[in-house]
Amino acid sequence: MLAVAEINYIRHEVNFKGCGYSSVAKKMGRDPRTVKKYAEMEDFNEKPKKKLTRTAPVIGPVKAILDEWIKEDLKKKKKFRRTAKRMWELLKEHHGFIGSDRTVRDYVSTRKKDFLNEVNDAALPLEAIPGTAQVDFGEAPFVYGGEEIVLPYLVLSFPFSNAFYFQVFPSQNRECFLEGMKRVFHHMGGVPKTIRFDNLSPAVKKILPNGERQLTDEFQNFVLHYGFECEFCNPNSGNEKGHVEAMVKYIRNNFLLPGLHVIELDELNKKLWGKAEKDRKRKHYQKKWKIEELFEEDKDAFLLLPAKEYECVRYETLKADKYGYIKLDLNLYSTSPRYALSKVLVKISYNRVDILNDDHQLVVSHSRLYGQYRKSMKWQPYLNLMAKRPTALKYTSFYDQLPEEWKNYFGSCTVTEKPEALKLLSIILKDHDFSVITKALVIASEYGHPSVDAIKQVFYQLINGRGIRSELSSKRSLPQLPVATRGLDHYDQLQKEVQHNE
């Protein structure tokens, strides 16, 4: 491109003075063809410069390999990523690369920036970028124990592919919220790189000015553990996560109505994985591809799972009342008599409430109660105390929970046997349920009322797999002994005989 002054001179000399191309070219020291070009030029609009594409005979054949390695590494923590030097060494060792390490370093540096820019652009879930997700709760009716109840279900949806997963929970609390996402992550084998949320109370403690959020401690730790970016809708702007809201309705209408009969939530949730995956056989409502094919693109963009699974629990220190109960969400849970009026550490998950001692060892474990003003009583830690007051046994709920065999046994126990039997149960029920110890009682009772030591001996024979000793046989015929009976009947009979003799 000539200077502007030269172009003006050419156009003036040729177009206004009528000079020839050769004469003007001679005066300027230019080629006549150049003079002709600018004299006749009519379009002076600026055009973008074409980018020169140079062939890269050395790096070209391995670009695809390097791109794949860079994409893999961006899903890992920085300390686990390959350096450009290491990539160069691997290329030489496995792919016969003959280029310099500088060539590889320059290429890797440029491509990392390109890919990171793509990731930054991807942090807009509404644009349906692969690997992004949205989360929300829905509600549906279920039939449990013959009664209709309403339970929440957590939905994780993927706007790019229109795929989804969902799990049913007893509540929308923090533990259920995190447990649901964790289950989906580990079932898929990856983590969405960006997830959009409503301002759910399990995640957001407080909405701050300028769009900032104060997150709950549990949610913040969960985000750090799995490494995804979280985005939140503006208050009262549910349309900003419109995909998951539409999917909540779709799931309810197609999978949860009419109300499903529920016996165990865990069993129901296992079946829901297959229902969500079977739904992907249909085509996307806009794109020509099947949802399951598009979901593979979502999965390719996922982050890798961390090596360790996150434990969705929280810890609280609570004070027990004089009976040893702690109160959690307006429900009562037993601890142990030794913790009455004392503080205990409580480990809380979506389905368990564990009471821990000062060394963080388990004292007693409860199934978590949902609803209000309910009570969970585990009697094992109280049995030693009950052994000191055995007459109170019949007036406790523990007695109502006893198998009939044990009720009958306690009914025929002597005053000294009852405390010993309660102490035995205190030991056995710490690690076992009633099934084996009740079987031991039945076997030990075959020849009459057994002692506590006899029940204990049979129990340990059963759990150690030694079997039961067979009855000893004798060649001698023994005289038939009268049947031994217990109680005061003998005393009454003796009194009658004495009175008769008098």
Say if residues 166 and 155 touch (Cβ distance below 8 Å).
yes
pLDDT grade for 121, boundaries at 50, 70 and 90: very low
pLDDT at 480: 62
Rounded Cα distance between 105 and 226, Å, is: 29
pLDDT-derived band of residue 131, with 50, 70 and 90 as boundaries? very high
Lowest mean per-residue pLDDT among 112-116, 137-141, 318-322: 112-116
Long-range (24+ apart) CB contacts under 8 A made by 210-217 are 216/174
Superfamily the domain 126-300 falls into? Ribonuclease H-like superfamily/Ribonuclease H (3.30.420.10)
Q: For the segment 400-445, what is each residue's pLDDT rounded down to a tens digit?
A: 888 999 999 999 998 889 999 999 998 998 888 889 999 999 999 9
At residue 55, the pLDDT reads 57
Task: Please give the Cα distance from 420 to 28 (Å, whole number).
Answer: 122
pLDDT tier, 128 (very low <50, low <70, confident <90, very high otherwise): confident
Q: Which of 43-47, 68-72, 134-138 has the lowest mean pLDDT?
A: 43-47
Q: Which helix (H) or strand (E) holds 497?
A: helix 489-501
Residue 350 backbone dihedrals phi, psi, to 5 degrees: -65, -25
Domain ranges of the chain: 4-40, 60-122, 126-300, 314-378, 382-463
pTM: 0.66
| Percent of the chain's residues with pLDDT above 70 | 86
Provide the token pair at 342.
Answer: 């004392």
In CATH, what number does 314-378 get? 2.30.30
- Following DSSP, what letter does each residue of 102-164 receive, concatenated? HHHHHHHHHHHHHHHHHHHHH--GGG--TTEEEEEEEEEEEEETTEEEEEEEEEEEETTTTEE
Report the candidate in 223, 222, 205 with the shortest Cα–Cα distance to residue 214: 205
Sign of CA dihedral 253, 283, 188, 197: negative
Distances (CA, A) of 338 to 22, 375, 432: 114, 19, 22
DSSP of 251-296, one letter per residue?
Answer: HIIIII-SPEE-S-HHHHHHHHHHHHHHGGGSBPSSSSSBHHHHHH
- Write the DSSP symbol of residue 319: E
Q: Which of 396, 403, 349 is nearest to 377 (CA)?
A: 396
Q: CB under 8 Å to 204, separation ≥6 — which residues?
A: 197, 213, 214, 215, 216, 219, 232
Q: Is 376 helix (H, G, I), strand (E, B) or coil?
A: strand
Calculate the alpha carbon distances from 114 to 70, 71, 360 in Å: 11, 11, 49
In this predicted structure, the answer to whether residue 472 has a pLDDT above a threshold of 50 is no
User: Which two tokens mark 409?
Assistant: 């046994």
pLDDT beyond 80 at 236: no
In this structure, the number of other CB atoms found within 10 A of the CB of residue 158 comes to 27
> Lowest-confidence range among 128-137, 167-176, 286-295, 387-396?
387-396
What pLDDT band is residue 40 in, cutting at 50, 70 and 90?
Answer: confident
Q: What does DSSP assign to residue 488?
A: S
Phi and psi for 384 in degrees, rounded to 5?
-65, -40
Length, in residues, of the chain: 502
Coil vs helix vs strand at 212: coil
